[in-house]
Amino acid sequence: MSRNRSGPSGTHLSLPRAGWQHSVAIRWLLILLFVFLFYSSMASRLVPETYNITLGAKSERDIKAPHQISDGKATLEAQDKAAENVAPIYSIVPLHNELLIDEIFSRIEQLNQDDQVTVDNKVDIYRRELPERVNQHVQDLVDAGSQSETYSAGLMAEMKKDVTSQLYRIPEETFYKLPRLTLDQLTEMKTVGRDVVRKLTSEPLSEAETARTKVAELVNASSLSLKTEREIVQELARLTILPNKFYDKKATDDAKVEAKQNTPPVLIKQGDIVVKSGQLISQDIYDRLVGLELLQERRTYWPQLGVFLFSILFTLALYGYKELTASATEAQKRTNAHGLMLLLIFSLNILIMHLIALTHSAQLPFIGFLAPVAMGCMLVTMLLDLQLGLVSAFVFTMLASVILNVEQVSLFDFHYGFVAAVVSFTSVLAIHRASQRSSILKAGIMVSLFGSVAVIALLLVGQESDQLMMAQAVGFMFASGLLTAVLVIGLMPFFEVTFGLLSAVKLVELSNPNHPLLRKLLTETPGTYHHSLMVGNLSEAAAEAVGANGLLCRVGSFYHDLGKTKRPLYFIENQNGGDNPHDKLDPKVSASIIIAHARDGGEMLKVHKLPKPIRDIAEQHHGTTILKYFYYKTVKQAKEQGTENTYSEDDFRYPGPKAQSKEAAIVGIADCVEAAVRSLNHPTVEQIENIIGKIIKDRLDDHQFNECDLTLRELDTIAESLKETVIGMFHSRIEYPDDKQFKQAQNH
């Protein structure tokens, strides 16, 4: 007991641990092996193979891309081709041609009404001003466009150049006709001219001459009756019709840049042959190999370092959990044997995942879902610990997303990682309370169902339209759950036998009354068999009250007195009221017979290959306690015979060892309590409390709990639990205080 192993200052005195199971060196070796296991399992995916390649030489073998990479040169060529295919972009710039013709007609009206200007001067003015007004109109538009930043400077320059090159030259005779026009004529001509210009410039025009050829037709169809009026309107309309569609160099360049940016990179996919055997290594091929990090001379060790760090993190996730969450009791129970078993479980699971990954092909793209990722999680949960099973589920999820990532489009494959997470955590939650082999199959079916739902969800989100491929993926996932259950059922006995572990499933199997040893106990020592069942009930309740393994206590109680089958009539519960053979034996002989049952039971259990925890309970449930009855009998006989007693208390003690676990100590206490209470005809609650307290105190004073981890607080909890269970078991025989008072009142 921890309280009894403290010195005067309260310092905990730990017991020395011997053997490889508690060796610090072995523990560090296991940690290194875990790091090596994780590194070797991921390096094949994350660290590319390198080759000794020389520029200008021929390749001696086919070299495949270890992962997907962008082909830089091919991508540049594709981008240049995409830019070349971009058509020139033309922008529309409204020139407000109807305003220009209005200005020209307004000027003609103004000048024709000025009588002080001669006709010849008017002709000269028209000859000079009309082209200038067109040029000035265009220049004003260029200036306005540049200042507002609506159009680029290049577009404005292109517009000015195109308009200038396409200006219309009015025939000379037209200038002599303009001064003769009256105000009424100009007003009507102005309306017609504006309508014609607006109609012909409403569409994009890159060539003004195309629209100018249509002017005569529109004007002749107008309301103008005089030939001179029609001719003048036609010429002025042709003058003001200008192109409005211009080549936009900036927009074209931007479109080419966008086309380059939108061009997808040309990919060298994982598995593509980069260099064929016998192919000459050109500079382009050499650069490609450099990009794929396949050259030994350019090899870097950063990927190896990254995988090594991953391995350390995964190892810390496992061992860090064990160190940070384990109580003192759990820490002492965990040995290097547990670490070795955990290493074997991880190794088997990783090996199977690699074997499944090797079968990947274009015809079986989803075979990775067949990998029984949940197998390791289920084994860890059932054989070791629920919380450790959850941590293992996280590690297996990460490993699956790397190992099953055959196509290596990314560092981790989200699809396999997500499905692995679903099935791993499902398996842990479905199996952690399993007590029968059939529970493993049920957990496997749960893995199949939840995993299949996860696969369907992924394929639907990925818009997988091939129903055959979807059926294949779901089929592999469903088969994975069943394969997981089969492997777990097959591997459980191996780990239980090899490492002497007791899973809940194994304990339930050992509790079957049809077990040969329990049938032997029932047929040869029925009293002991009944006593063992009662002790099982008591010890299970007490163990669960203090967080110990209640199922182990129950099953251990069933076998703890198996040694009594060698000499059944020497134990009072099997005498059925007959003669007690100890009455005729020397007390030392009687003590030897009684003491031998613990050792005999351990040997019988060992012969029948029952797990060590069960054997430990049989050998340790009496510890090194003394058979007081026979010791005092020898003392009494020596007094009566007037001789000196040649025996000491040590001659009447069990050989031990003392209880090494909570479970063995609890079974020992329950064993004494059951026997003591059964010997009473009508026990009272006070008697039960006193008996339980006395038994625990005697063992505490006798230092029987020094080598297990029971505390004083836990002993109090055990005493309370035993009292409640005993009252429930012997309820009809127990006299309560009120009953005693009632009987006393009747007697008076």
pLDDT of 699 reads 93
Residues 353 and 465 grouped into a single domain = yes
Identify the three-state secondary structure at position 213: coil
Question: CA end-to-end span of the chain, whole Å?
Answer: 49
Give, as one character, the DSSP assignment of residue 70.
Answer: E
Bond from prior residue into 657 cis (ω within 30 degrees of 0) = yes
Residues 547 and 614 grouped into a single domain = yes
Distance CA 616, CA 7 (A): 28
Report the CATH number at residue 418.
1.10.1760.20
Residues 568 and 709 grouped into a single domain = yes
Assess if residue 75 is contained within a domain.
no
Distance CA 643, CA 347 (A): 69
- Enclosing H/E stretch for 246: strand 245-247
Residue 386: partners with Cβ closer than 8 Å, 6 or more residues away: 428, 432
Residues 619 and 735 grouped into a single domain = yes
Kindly state the tokens that stand for 300.
Answer: 């870097």
Residues 418 and 497 grouped into a single domain = yes
pLDDT of 14 reads 34
Distance CA 186, CA 102 (A): 11
Residues 379 and 435 grouped into a single domain = yes
**Among 505, 521, 538, where does a domain finish?**
505
Residues 169 and 201 grouped into a single domain = yes
Closest CA to 378 of 441, 451, 301, 323: 441
Kindly state the tokens that stand for 238.
Answer: 């042709």
Distance CA 633, CA 677 (A): 23
- Angle, CA of 315, 316 and 318, to the nearest 5°: 70
Residues in the chain, total: 748
Please give the tally of structural domains in the chain: 3
Residues 376 and 523 grouped into a single domain = no
Residues 329 and 432 grouped into a single domain = yes
Assess if residue 605 is contained within a domain.
yes
Assess if residue 112 is contained within a domain.
yes
pLDDT of 746 reads 44
For the residues of 407-473, what is the DSSP string, one character each? S-SSSS-HHHHHHHHHHHHHHHHHHTT--SHHHHHHHHHHHHHHHHHHHHHHHHHTT---HHHHHHH
Q: Which CA distances in Å does 663 have to 79, 222, 517, 617, 702?
A: 75, 117, 21, 7, 18
Instruction: Pick out the chain residues at pLDDT < 70.
Output: 1-18, 48-52, 60, 64-68, 270-271, 290-299, 322-333, 408-410, 434-435, 465, 577, 730-748
Residues 520 and 535 grouped into a single domain = yes
Assess if residue 587 is contained within a domain.
yes
Residues 394 and 475 grouped into a single domain = yes
Distance CA 437, CA 512 (A): 13
Which residue is listed with tokens 């005498």?
575
Residue 98: partners with Cβ closer than 8 Å, 6 or more residues away: 194, 197, 198, 201
pLDDT of 670 reads 94
Assess if residue 73 is contained within a domain.
no
**Among 214, 232, 247, where does a domain finish?**
247
Distance CA 421, CA 508 (A): 30
Supply the range of the domain harboring residue 669.
511-747
Residues 515 and 492 grouped into a single domain = no
Residue 105: partners with Cβ closer than 8 Å, 6 or more residues away: 186, 189, 190, 193, 236
Assess if residue 70 is contained within a domain.
no
Closest CA to 25 of 235, 393, 339: 339
Assess if residue 372 is contained within a domain.
yes
Assess if residue 52 is contained within a domain.
no
**Among 201, 217, 247, where does a domain finish?**
247
pLDDT of 7 reads 33
pLDDT of 162 reads 85
